[in-house]
Amino acid sequence: MAKITDTVKVLIIINVLFFIGSLSMSETTHPLFNLYYFANPAFKFWQPISSMFMHGDLMHLVFNMIALWMFGSAMEQIWGQRKFIFFYFSAGLGAVLINSAVSYFQVQSGMQEMIAEGFTQSYINELLANGRLINGYDWFYTYYGSMLGASGAVYGVLVAFAWYFPNSKLMLIFLPVPIAAKYFVPVLLLGDLIFGFTGAATGIAHFAHLGGAIFGFIMAYFWKKNSANQHRWN
């Protein structure tokens, strides 16, 4: 097990404190700190950051924090504190960006479908203003729902770890066989891609995972490349 680094330790403590706070004030903290669709009146400008410290249940928190400890500590040792902090929050915001873009497409497509079926825009706006929905139109759940969790940022860290340590052995809980990171991570992301488009596993922000992974890979790719070039010239 990797020795926990200072920044990772602080991030874990903050996540735990947010979780404890959400248990003691569940009816008030979630609307404030979860990430809502940007057109939803519940949306606040701080939610893209605050939602990264919120978790739905204990297992959600535990899995994310274990991954952050194992993979984040290794990356902080390589990059240092400031670079790791920048990476972590950039990957998390990348997850928010991709998930929000997908949500926007789903909401707009749903509205257009209803308009094509004879509903007026003013009627749809009235439904949204009153917090109502019509069964059979999934986009309402996107509009009213919220996203929470450190998974997007953690996925970015996981992808970076696999890029720097491709032959490190990782294990799935339901498949206790060591798998090289260069195979483990693509399979994990493929699952998110399939579930995201098919909707087979609901209640999980698959596109946020993919967004964090994409932004994490871009940063890790160029940082490793630049580091190699610097060593080459030194």
Residue with the bigger pLDDT between 99 and 135: it is 99
What number of other Cβ atoms are within 10 A of residue 1's Cβ?
7
Given this model, what pLDDT does residue 26 score? 61
Which burial class, exposed, middle or buried, applies to 33 when counting CB atoms under 10 A from its CB (0-12, 13-18, 19+)?
A: buried
In a domain, 1, yes or no: no
Q: How many angstroms separate the Cα of 66 from the Cα of each of 4, 39, 191, 195?
A: 10, 34, 20, 23
Vertex 11, ends 91 and 227: CA angle to 5°?
A: 50
Q: Which helix (H) or strand (E) element contains residue 170?
A: strand 169-172
* Token pair for 96: 């928010």
Read off the pLDDT of residues 133-174 as tens digits, 9 standing for 90 and up.
888 898 999 999 999 999 999 999 999 999 999 999 887 655
Contact between 220 and 160 (Cβ < 8 Å) = yes
Please state the domain count of the chain. 1
In a domain, 167, yes or no: yes
In a domain, 140, yes or no: yes
Read off the pLDDT of residues 173-195 as tens digits, 9 standing for 90 and up.
555 678 899 998 998 899 999 98
Given this model, what pLDDT does residue 80 score? 95
CATH code at 49? 1.20.1540.10
Average pLDDT, the chain: 90
What's the domain range around 221?
A: 6-233
Q: Which is nearest to 12 in space by CA: 62, 77, 78?
A: 62
In a domain, 93, yes or no: yes
